[in-house]
Amino acid sequence: MIRREIVLPATRTEVWDALTDPERLADWFANEVELELRPGGAASFRWGNGEERRATVTEVEDGERLAFTWDDDGSVEFTLAEDDDGTRLTVVETSPAWTTALDLQASALARV
Amino acid sequence: MSDPLNQVFSALADASRRHVLGYLADHGTASATELTGELPMTRQAVAKHLTLLSEAGLIASERSGRETRYRLTTQGAEWDERLDALRRHLKRRGGG
CB nearest A18 (choices: B22, B80, B90): B90
Contact A18, B89 (CB under 8 A): yes
The residues that bridge with A86 in the sheet, in sequence order, are A83
Q: What's the Rg (C-alpha) of chain B?
A: 16
State the architecture of B4-94 in CATH terms.
Answer: Orthogonal Bundle (1.10)
Q: What was the ipTM of the complex prediction? A: 0.86
∠ CA A102-B64-B57 to the nearest 5 degrees?
A: 45
Q: What's the Rg (C-alpha) of chain A?
A: 16
Query: Which residue in A83, A73, A64 sits closest to A19, CA to CA?
Result: A64
Q: Do B86 and A8 touch (CB under 8 A)?
A: yes
Query: What does the pLDDT profile of chain A (112 residues) look like in tens digits?
Result: 888 999 999 999 999 999 999 999 999 999 999 999 999 999 999 999 999 999 999 999 999 999 999 998 899 999 999 999 999 999 999 876 655 555 555 555 555 5
**pLDDT tens digits, one per residue of B1-58:** 568 788 888 998 999 999 999 899 888 899 999 999 999 999 999 999 999 999 999 9
CB nearest B83 (choices: A4, A102, A110): A4
Q: Is B3 helix (H, G, I), strand (E, B) or coil?
A: coil
Q: Where are the domains of chain B?
A: 4-94
Q: Where are the domains of chain A?
A: 2-111
| Mean pLDDT, rounded, of chain A | 89
**Side chain identity at residue B69, one-letter code:** R
A2-111 topology per CATH:
Alpha-D-Glucose-1,6-Bisphosphate; Chain A, domain 4 (3.30.530)
Contact A106, B25 (CB under 8 A): yes
How far apart are the CA of B22 and the nearest CA of chain A, in angstroms? 6
